[in-house]
Amino acid sequence: MTSLLKSKLVIFSVAGWVICGGIGESAHGQEIKFQRDIAPILENRCWDCHNQESHEGELRLDTRQGMLQGGGSGVAAVIPGKPDQSYLIEVISHLDPDLKMPPEQEQLPRQEIELLTQWIKQGAVWPGQTDVANTIESSHWAFQPLLRPDLPGRIRQGSNAIDVFLTESLKEQGLRFSPQADPISLLRRVSIVLTGLPPTPATTTNFLQAWERDSSQAYVKLVDGLMASPHFGERWAQHWLDVIRWAETNGSEANLYRKNAWVYRDYVVRAFNEDKPYDLFVREQLAGDSLGSGEATGFLVSGPHVPAATVGREPAAIRQARADRMDEIMQTVGPSILGITIGCARCHNHKFDPVSLKDYYALTAVFQDIEFGGRQPEYSAEHPLKQQGDKLLVDIETVREKLRTTGGWEENWAAYRELHFPAVTTKAVRVRFKTTYVGLDELEFFGPDDLSQNLALRDYGTELTGYPADGLENRNPIQRISDGEYGTMAWRARVEKDADQYPYVQFNFKNSELVDRLRISSNREYYYDTDYLERMPGLPRYEFDVDYLQEDGTWKPWVGTWFVNKKLNEEHPGRKTLLNEIQQLIQTHGEQGPQPSFVGRFVEPQVTHVLLRGSPESPRDEVNPAGLELFQGNLELTSQTPGADRRLAFANWITSQQNPLTARVMVNRIWHHVFGTGIVATTGDFGKAGAAPSHPKLLEWLAAEFIEPSANADAWSMQNMIRMMVMSKAFRQASLPNSKGIERDANARLLWRYPPKRVEAEVIRDAILLASGKLDQSIGGRSYRIHNEKKTYAQWEVVDNHGPHTWRRMLYQERMRRVDDQIFTAFDFPDCGQVRAKRPVSTTPLQALNLLNSPFVLEQTRLIAARALEETNGDQSDAIIRCFQLILGRPPDETELAVCVQLTREQDLAIVCRALINSNEFAFLP
Amino acid sequence: MSNPENLSPLGQRLLDRRNFLSTAGLSASGLALTSLLDSDQLLADDPKTVGGKTPIRPVIDPHNPYQSRTPHFDVPAKQVLVIYLPGAISHVDTFDYKPALTKLHGQKPPSLPRVTFEGPSGNIAKPFWDFKPHGETGKMVSDLLPNLARQVDDFCFIHSMTTDTSAHPQGENFMNTGFTMEGFPSFGSWVTYALGTEAQDLPAFVAINDPRGLARSGKNNFGNGFLPAAFQGTDFNAKNPPNNLHRPMGLSPQADRGTLDILKRLNARHLKKYPGDANLAGRIASYELAGQMQMSVPEIMDLSGETQATLDSYGVEGGSELRGQYAQNCILARRLLEKGVRVVQLFNGSDPSGGNGVTNWDSHSNILNTHAMQAEIMDQPTAALLADLKQRGMMENTLIVWATEFGRMPFLQSNGTGRDHNPNAFTCFLTGAGVKRGFSYGESDEFGFKAAIDKTTAYDFNATLLHLMGLDHERLTFYHNGLERRLTNVHGHVIREVLA
Q: Residue A156: what are its φ and ψ, rounded to 5°?
A: -90, 165
Terminal Cα-to-Cα distance of chain A (whole angstroms): 38
A887 and A813 in a common domain: yes
Q: Could you give the C-alpha distances from B149 to B154, B155, B315, in angstroms and in order?
A: 10, 10, 16
Q: Which of A307, A306, A323, A331 is nearest to A244 (CA)?
A: A331
**In angstroms, how far apart are the furthest CA atoms of chain B?**
84
Within a domain: B249: no
- pLDDT of A316 over the 60 cut: yes
Q: Report whether B411 contacts B125 (CB < 8 A).
A: yes
Inside any domain, residue B286: no
Contact B460/A at CB under 8 A: no
> Distance, in angstroms, between B299 CA and closest chain A CA?
17
Same-domain pairing of A367 and A452: no
- Amino acid A29: pLDDT: 59
State the pLDDT confidence band at A15, using cuts at 50, 70 and 90.
very low
B483 touches chain A (CB under 8 A): yes
- Is residue B292 in a domain? no
Same domain, A559 and A644: no
Average pLDDT over residues B416-432: 95
Q: What is the pLDDT of residues A140-193, one digit of tens each?
A: 999 999 999 999 999 998 899 999 999 999 999 999 999 999 999 999 999 999
Interchain contact B38–A (C-beta under 8 A): yes
Q: Name residues 143-202 of chain A within 8 A of B (Cβ).
A: 169, 172-174
pLDDT digits (tens, 9 = 90+) for B12-22: 554 444 443 33
In a domain, B263, yes or no: no
Does residue B46 sit within a domain? no
Q: List CB contacts (< 8 A) between A908 and chain B.
A: 255
List of chain B residues whose C-beta atoms are within 8 Å of the C-beta of residue A924:
270, 279-280
Lowest average pLDDT, out of A833-837, A851-855, B234-238, goes to: A833-837
Q: Does A695 touch chain B (CB under 8 A)?
A: yes
Interface A:B, Cβ pairs < 8 A: 334
What percent of chain A is predicted at pLDDT more than 70?
96
Torsion of CA A270, A272, A273, A277, to 10 degrees: 100
Inter-chain CB proximity B40 and A682 less than 8 Å: yes
Report how far Cα B453 is from the mean position of its chain's Cα atoms: 26
pLDDT at B355: 44
pLDDT at A133: 55
A50-63 exposure pattern, b = at least 16 Cβ within 10 A, e = fewer: bbeeebbebbbbbe
Across the interface, which of B169, B251, B274 has its CB nearest the CB of A736?
Answer: B274
Written as one string, the DSSP assignment of A633-644 is -B----TTS-HH
Q: Is there a domain that residue B67 lies in? A: no
Question: Nearest-CA neighbor of B107 among B125, B127, B85?
Answer: B125
Query: Residue A80: what are its φ and ψ, rounded to 5°?
Result: -55, 135
pLDDT, tens only, A797-847: 999 999 999 999 999 999 999 888 999 988 988 888 888 778 888 888 999
The pLDDT tens digits for A236-259 are 999 999 999 999 999 887 899 999
**Region of poorest pLDDT, from A91-95, A533-537, B306-310:** A533-537
* Residues B52-67, mean pLDDT to the nearest whole number: 83
CATH number of the domain encompassing residue B134: 3.40.720.10
Q: What is the pLDDT of residue A6?
A: 34
Task: Point out the residue among A315, A743, A907 whose CB comes nearest to the CB of B30.
Answer: A743
Pairwise CB contact (< 8 Å): B290 & A352: no
Contacts within 8 Å (CB) and 24+ apart, A560-565: A561/A410, A561/A419, A563/A408, A564/A407, A564/A408, A564/A409, A564/A410, A564/A419, A564/A420, A564/A421, A565/A410
Same domain, B335 and B399: yes
Q: Which residues of A touch B214 (CB under 8 A)?
A: 795
Do A456 and A548 belong together in one domain?
A: yes
pLDDT at B445 over 60: yes
Domain final residue pick, A625, A659, A693 = A659
**Chain B CB contacts of A307 below 8 Å:** none
**CB-based contact A858 B248, cutoff 8 Å:** yes
Residue B433 pLDDT: 97
Could A791 and B352 be called an inter-chain contact, meaning their C-beta atoms sit closer than 8 Å? yes
Q: Are residues A766 and A913 in the same domain?
A: yes
Q: Identify whether residues B324 and B394 lie together within a single domain.
A: yes
A352 and B482 within 8 Å at the Cβ level: the answer is yes
Instruction: Tell me whether residues A737 and B277 touch, CB distance under 8 A.
Output: yes
Nearest to A312 among B117, B181, B246 (CB): B117
Confidence check: pLDDT of B408 > 80: yes
d(CA A648, CA A645): 5
User: Using the beta-carbon criterion (under 8 Å), do A840 and B226 form an inter-chain contact?
Assistant: yes
- Statement to judge: residues B118 and B195 lie in one domain: yes
Q: Across the interface, do A174 and B1 touch by the CB < 8 Å criterion?
A: yes
In this structure, the answer to whether residues B455 and B322 fall within a common structural domain is yes
Do the domain assignments include residue A838? no
Residue A38: pLDDT over 80: yes
Query: Does A16 have pLDDT greater than 50?
Result: no
Distance CA B362, CA B375 (A): 12
How confident is the model at residue A132, as a pLDDT? 55
| Contact status, residue B456 vs residue B157, Cβ threshold 8 Å | no
Both B17 and B93 in a single domain?
no
Interface test with B, best of A252, A744, A835 (most B CBs within 10 A): A252
B-proximal residues of A, 666-685, CB under 8 Å:
677, 681-682, 684-685
Per-residue DSSP letter, A521: E
Q: Is residue A214 part of a domain?
A: no
What DSSP string describes A620-634? Answer: EEEE--B--GGGT-B
pTM of the entire structure? 0.85
For residue A432, pLDDT over 90 is answered with yes
**Local confidence band at B7 (pLDDT 50, 70, 90 cut-offs):** low
User: What's the pLDDT band for A77 if we cut at 50, 70, 90?
Assistant: confident
- The percent of residues in chain B predicted with pLDDT above 70, rounded, is 88
Residue A772, phi then psi, degrees to nearest 5? -80, -10
Q: In a 3-state reduction of DSSP, which class is residue A198?
A: coil
**Is the confidence at residue B35, as pLDDT, over 50?**
no
Does a structural domain hold residue A911?
yes
Q: Is residue B416 part of a domain?
A: yes
Domain check: are B217 and B335 in the same one? Answer: yes
- Provide the residue range defining the domain that includes B8: 4-28
Statement: residue B26 has pLDDT above 50? no
pLDDT at B10: 52
pLDDT at B150 over 70: yes
Task: Please judge whether B289 and A848 are an interchain contact, meaning their C-beta atoms are less than 8 angstroms apart.
Answer: yes
Beta strand pairing status for A544-549 and A442-446?
unpaired
A chain contacts of residue B242, beta-carbon cutoff 8 Å:
846, 849
Give the C-alpha separation, A98 to A73, whole Å. 12
Burial (CB count <10 Å: 0-12, 13-18, 19+), residue A606? exposed
Pairing verdict, β B156-161 and B131-134: unpaired
Q: Is A849 on the interface with B (CB under 8 A)?
A: yes
Residues of A numbered 288-317 whose beta carbons fall under 8 angstroms of chain B's beta carbons: which are they?
A: 304, 306, 310-315, 317
Point out the residue among A825, A844, A924 whose CB comes nearest to the CB of B230.
Answer: A844
Domain co-membership, B349 together with B441: yes
Substitution target from A355, A699, A834, A906 for chain B, most B beta carbons within 10 A: A834
Share of chain A above pLDDT 90, in %: 68
Q: What is the pLDDT of residues A388-409, one digit of tens each?
A: 999 999 999 999 999 999 999 9
Are B96 and B203 in a shared domain? Answer: yes
Of A229, A206, A246, the closest CA to residue A777 belongs to A229
**Cβ contact A169–B273 (<8 Å):** no
Q: Give the number of domains in chain B.
A: 2
The answer to whether residues B23 and B86 belong to one domain is: no
What confidence score (pLDDT) does residue A535 get?
73
Q: Are residues B337 and B462 in the same domain?
A: yes
Number of domains in chain A: 4
The confidence score (pLDDT) of residue B27 equals 32
Separation of alpha carbons A346 and B143, rounded Å: 46
Query: How far from B145 is each of B91, B329, B371, CA to CA, in Å?
Result: 12, 19, 10
Mean pLDDT lowest for which of A295-299, A520-524, A875-879, B80-84? A520-524
**Residue A310 with chain B: CB contacts under 8 Å:** 167, 169
Phi first, then psi: what are they for A917, rounded to 5°? -65, -30
Confidence of residue B43 (pLDDT cuts 50, 70, 90): very low
Across B151-177, average pLDDT: 95
B70 part of a folded domain: no
Euclidean distance between the first and the last CA atom of chain B, given in angstroms as a whole number: 55
What is the tens place of the pLDDT at every residue in A860-902?
999 999 999 999 998 999 999 999 999 999 999 999 999 999 9
Banded pLDDT at B382 (limits 50, 70, 90): very high
pLDDT category at B113 given cuts 50, 70, 90 is confident
Contact B283 A923 (CB under 8 A): yes
Chain B residue with CA closest to A677: the answer is B40
- Contact between residue B189 and residue B207 where contact means Cβ atoms under 8 Å apart: no
**Burial degree of A536 (CB within 10 A; 0-12, 13-18, 19+):** middle
Confidence label for A3 from pLDDT (cuts 50, 70 and 90):
very low
Q: Which residue of B has its CA nearest to A174?
A: B1
- What pLDDT score was predicted for residue A4? 41
The pLDDT of residue B49 is above 70: no
Give the residue on B whose Cα is nearest the Cα of A691: B44
3-state helix, strand, coil in chain A (%, to 5): 45, 10, 45
Whether the Cβ atoms of residue A505 and residue A420 lie closer than 8 Å to each other: no
Instruction: Calculate the dihedral angle through the C-alpha atoms of B357, B362, B367, B373, rounding to the nearest 10 degrees.
Output: 50
Residue pair A775/A769 in contact by the 8 Å Cβ criterion:
yes
ipTM of the complex model = 0.83
Q: Which residues of B touch A918 (CB under 8 A)?
A: 259, 263, 287
Residue B52 is predicted with a pLDDT of 66
Contact A920 B244 (CB under 8 A): no
Same domain, B401 and B460: yes
Q: Does B309 have pLDDT greater than 90?
A: yes
Mean per-residue pLDDT, A280-303: 97
B229 and B350: one domain?
yes
pLDDT, one tens digit per residue, over A673-730 is 999 999 999 898 999 888 899 999 999 999 999 999 988 899 999 999 999 999 999 9
CB atoms B38 and A695 under 8 Å: no
Looking at the domain assignment, is residue A503 inside a domain? yes
By residue range, what is the domain housing residue A623?
A: 237-379+600-659
Q: Give the pLDDT confidence score for residue A861 in this predicted structure.
A: 97
Q: Does B117 touch chain A (CB under 8 A)?
A: yes
Distance, CA of B177 to CA of B468 (rounded, Å): 17
Among A49-63, A191-205, A517-531, A818-832, where is mean pLDDT lowest? A49-63
Q: Residue B312, CB half-sphere, CA atoms under 13 Å: how many?
A: 3
A355 and A480 share one domain: no
What's the pLDDT score for residue B37? Answer: 36
Q: What value does the mean pLDDT take over residues B15-35?
A: 37
Residues of B in contact with A694 (CB under 8 A): 8-10
Using pLDDT thresholds of 50, 70 and 90, give the confidence band for residue A23: very low
CA gyration radius for chain A? 33
Closest alpha carbon within chain A to B36:
A747
A409 half-sphere exposure, CB direction, 13 A CA radius: 24
